[in-house]
Chains A and B, each alone.
Chain A
Amino acid sequence: MTEAVSFQQEFKVKGGDFSRGGEASCEIKNLLRDLGLDPQLVRRAAIACYEAEMNIIMYAWQGQLDLLVTPHRIRIIAEDKGPGIADIKQAMREGYSTATPEMRELGFGAGMGLANIKKNTDTFRITSKVGRGTRLELTIKTNGRKA
């Protein structure tokens, strides 16, 4: 019944815009904290958002994070228009990365992003169409909250 109560907000992410990298996930982090969620849970969600946000910035043209919070879970849909991923299995492998030397210079491209997203979420679904874009659907269970 309480699941009917939900908070939803979209955060636009622009491809290539490294200077604002992390802003959306930072905003999401603050929001989840305002909702009184457990700090470890907030951190897991923030890490997942951050990795998804940076992937859009690094590899896609434009995209968004769509956050939905209900009393029992956090759902994040990260969707982009971009080159897509031809071999998802390969992309998921820890250490696999197509990041450019410039990106590595900035400290990205360890090839851990997607794996980290999976590690920090309770459900993880990834779909992608080459030449069109990529979509991640993530959820984290919050199970209400201890006051």
Chain B
Amino acid sequence: MNKENRHPLHINTKKCVGCVHCMTSCPTKAIRIRDGKARIIGEFCIDCGECLRFCPQDAIDSHTTSFSDLNAFKYKVAIPATVLYGQFDNATLPNEILFALRRVGFDSIYELSTICELNSAATEKFLNSHPRPRPFIASTCPVVVRLIQRRYPTLIDLIVPIEPPREIAAKILRANLPRVLKVKPSDIGIIHITPCPAKMVSINYPVSMEKSYLDGAISIRDIYKPVLQALRQSKDEAIMSRLFPETIFSGLGLGTALSGGETRGLKNRRTVAVSGIQDTIRVLNQVEMGMLRDVDLLECMVCPDGCVGGPLAVENRFMAKSRILRLVSLLGERSVVDDSDTNALYQKNFMSFTHSLKPVKATPLDADPVRAIQKAKHRNRIIKQLPGKDCGACGAPDCRTLADDIIRGLALLTDCPFMMKEKK
């Protein structure tokens, strides 16, 4: 566990008061309280951001790309998640937001909804040419991929091996911008604007490719204020952007910010869309037990309602969702991606994973099978001894986890205040 910390979320020990909110909200039981402060166990963390959502002290920092990091690049390119369009008031149109991003310091902005539509079309082609197995699982949410690698290793081959829109977009830009702009490739910084910390992990430690095509990810939280200011200052630009809309938006693609968005584009397919971490875990359990075999594509988004519910978004997800739905209905279902383009890229495997996903094995109770059995028995004896109150006072989220920690040598029976009393 002494590996470098690969996770973007860090406990700010100055702000952390050691309450148990994050610990009890963590779906993988990755948090312990030690010496009055929360600690994240890297091996168990899947970067879902639930802890960040539940921390009342704002004591969980998200190490995403900062503005000053952008200075490393002469030419700065932004690829905002479509969730961004739902963050500002109803009167603010996507074009204005893209204009404002330019004012904030990006040299160019690439709109993602078209690529989201391309990704859906590619997924459809993949499903057509792979009648079995079922159900395939969409790979867009990096947390779902990480969860499957760790908790559902037997489902790895069900993940659609097509890169998410943000990577496809960055790959297209990488291939073309140096030539178009006549700029050195290393001078170009391609930055995703994201509602979640997990993108940072998928950029820094990709699992389906050698190296990410993105250089970083700025959180919506961090960019919100500057964009808002720019929107206020640039009234004239706003008028211009309305009169000369320079970007083509895809209604189909824009909808992917919401749960069910990816499956909506697949017209003749049986699909199921699930959102929220608990329901995602539930449905993956079912798939592992052999259910949902009649479903072509399962879309799981660990955030409530999909990426609009991302932990680093600013606007509450109901408002954001309502705005995005409005944009989707304004734009309509008209396809903006040419089928022949999709075909060409699909045939070249341009959008495919280049590395196959590998399971990440959980550490067993013991490497030796006989001792593992003995430890499991011992763990059950400890569970019987503990009071079963799941109070969290020991620093573990529940009695069962404390017993597990004790067996693994990470905690003591006397960490439980009720056990101390009995000892006296």
- Using a CB–CB distance below 8 Å, which chain A residues touch chain B? 2, 5-7, 9, 22, 25-26, 29, 31, 33-36, 39-40, 43, 46-47, 50, 69-71, 107, 116, 142, 144-145, 147
Question: Which of the candidate stretches B2-10, B286-294, B307-315 sits at the interface with the other chain?
Answer: B286-294
B289 & A35 in contact (Cβ 8 Å cutoff): no
Q: Which residues from B are CB-within-8-Å of A2?
A: 370
Shortest distance between the CB of B150 and any CB in chain A (Å): 10
- Shortest Cβ distance from B374 into A: residue: A5
Contact B370 A36 (CB under 8 A): no
The closest CB in chain A to the CB of B155 belongs to A43
Q: Decide: B369 and A25 in contact? CB cutoff 8 A.
A: no
Q: Are A26 and B285 in contact (CB-based, < 8 A)?
A: yes
Count of chain B residues near A, Cβ 8 A: 24
| Known interface pairs A22-B289, A43-B288; A147-B376 also in contact (CB < 8 Å) | no
Q: Considering residues B367, B376, B380, which has the most beta carbons from chain A within 10 angstroms of its beta carbon?
A: B376
Contact of B288 among A46, A70, A142 (CB under 8 A): A46
- B154: chain A residues within 8 A (beta carbon): 39-40, 43
Given contacts A22-B289, A43-B154, contact A7 B367 (CB under 8 A): no
Residues B291 and A34 in contact, CB atoms below 8 Å apart:
no
A106–B370 CA distance with the chains assembled, in angstroms: 40
In the assembled complex, how far is the CB of residue A120 from the closest CB belonging to chain B, in whole angstroms? 9
Task: Name the A residues within 8 Å of B372 (CB-CB).
Answer: 34-36
Are A47 and B289 in touch, CB under 8 angstroms?
A: yes
Given A36-B366, A40-B154, A147-B367 in contact, is the A5-B373 Cβ separation under 8 Å? yes
Using an 8 Å CB-CB cutoff, how does the interface string of B326-367 with A read, 1 for contact, 0 for none?
A: 000000000000000000000000000000000100101111
**Does B364 lie within 8 Å of A71, measured CB to CB?**
no
Give A35 to B366 CA distance when docked, in angstroms.
Answer: 7
Q: How far, in angstroms, from A2 to B368 measured CA to CA in the complex?
A: 12
Give the residues in chain A near B377, CB-CB below 8 Å. Answer: 7
Q: Whole-angstrom distance between the alpha carbons of A107 and B293 in the complex?
A: 11
